[in-house]
Copies of this chain bind each other. A is one copy, B any other.
Amino acid sequence: MNSDFTLAIHSLTLLALQPDRMATSDIISESAGVHPVRIRKVLSLLKKHGFIKTKEGTGGGFIFASELSEVNLWDIYKITSEGALQPKCPDSNEKCIVGANMQKVLFSIFLGAEEHLGEYLKNYTIKEVVHHINLEK
């Protein structure tokens, strides 16, 4: 799994903490320790799903566009990383009962695993993450 999921959470949390003004990709990238272009790419996904708004030009940037308690981590996972749990099986031997069928068996197991993970992630919203961040202060 790449870190788009955690980058998205990081960015949203930062935006949640300054709901009144926009944050640029430079500011967010400095907080997250990654390149600003990556921030723009990940956040453009979140924009497409309406979680944030963006503005180009001077004074522009990114800003939260929904209720903190309505954005849960499962939503974000699906947008950034759906299918990431799924293992990339090498082409196994079709002549072997196991090789020929293992891939689809594993596929169904991991599909179930991802759904199960979803049940857990649905319980976490950005509001909770922000709360945890504040507790750590």
Contact = CB atoms under 8 A, between A and B. Distances in A.
A137 B136 CA distance: 54
B1 A98 contact: no
Given A1-B1, A105-B133, 13 more contacts: A3-B87, A3-B89, A9-B106, A13-B98, A14-B98, A30-B96, A30-B99, A31-B96, A31-B99, A33-B92, A97-B133, A105-B136, A112-B120
Interface of A: 1, 3, 5-6, 9-10, 13-14, 17, 30-34, 73, 85, 87-93, 96-102, 104-106, 108-109, 112-113, 116-117, 119-121, 124, 129, 132-133, 136-137
23 contacts: A1-B87, A6-B102, A9-B102, A10-B98, A14-B98, A17-B98, A31-B96, A31-B98, A32-B90, A33-B90, A73-B109, A97-B133, A97-B137, A101-B132, A104-B136, A105-B129, A105-B133, A109-B129, A113-B120, A113-B121, A116-B116, A116-B119, A117-B120
